Amino acid sequence: MRDVQNVHGSTGEVVRIIEEPLPNVEDKMSSKNTIPLKVEVDIAELTDCIQLREISRVTLGRVVHLCQLWSSEAHTACKLHIRQGFGMITEFLHGFFTLYGSFIPLEKSDVLRHLKRMFNADFTDRRQLIYEVVKRRISPTLWHPITSFQVVFKKHTLSLDDLSTLANQNWLNDQVINMYGELIMEAAQNKVHFLNSFFHRQLMTKGYDGVKRWTKQVDLFSKSLLLVPIHLEVHWCLVTTDIARKKICLFDSQGSAPHQVAQNILKYVTAEAREKQRTSFVNGWAVSYNESVPQQTNENDCGVFVLEYSRCLALARPLCFSQRNIPKIRKRIYKELCGCKLYEQVQQ
Q: Which residues are catalytic?
A: 235, 252, 302
φ, ψ at 53 (rounded to 5°): -100, -35
Q: How far is CA 319 from CA 16, 23, 312, 335, in A?
A: 50, 47, 6, 21
Question: What is the spatial distance between Cα 91 and Cα 172, in angstroms, rounded to a whole number?
Answer: 31
Question: What is the spatial distance between Cα 238 and Cα 221, in angstroms, rounded to a whole number?
Answer: 19
Virtual CA dihedral for 192, 193, 194, 195, nearest 10 degrees? -160
Question: What is the spatial distance between Cα 85 and Cα 144, in angstroms, rounded to a whole number?
Answer: 24
**Residues facing 8 on adjacent strands:** 14
Picking from 329, 337, 344, 9, the residue whose alpha carbon sits closest to that of residue 157 is 337
8 φψ region: left (φ > 0), alpha (ψ -120 to 50), beta (else):
beta
Please count the CA atoms within 13 angstroms of the CA of 120 that sit on its side-chain side: 1
Q: How far is CA 164 from CA 10, 168, 170, 221, 334, in A?
A: 46, 9, 8, 36, 9
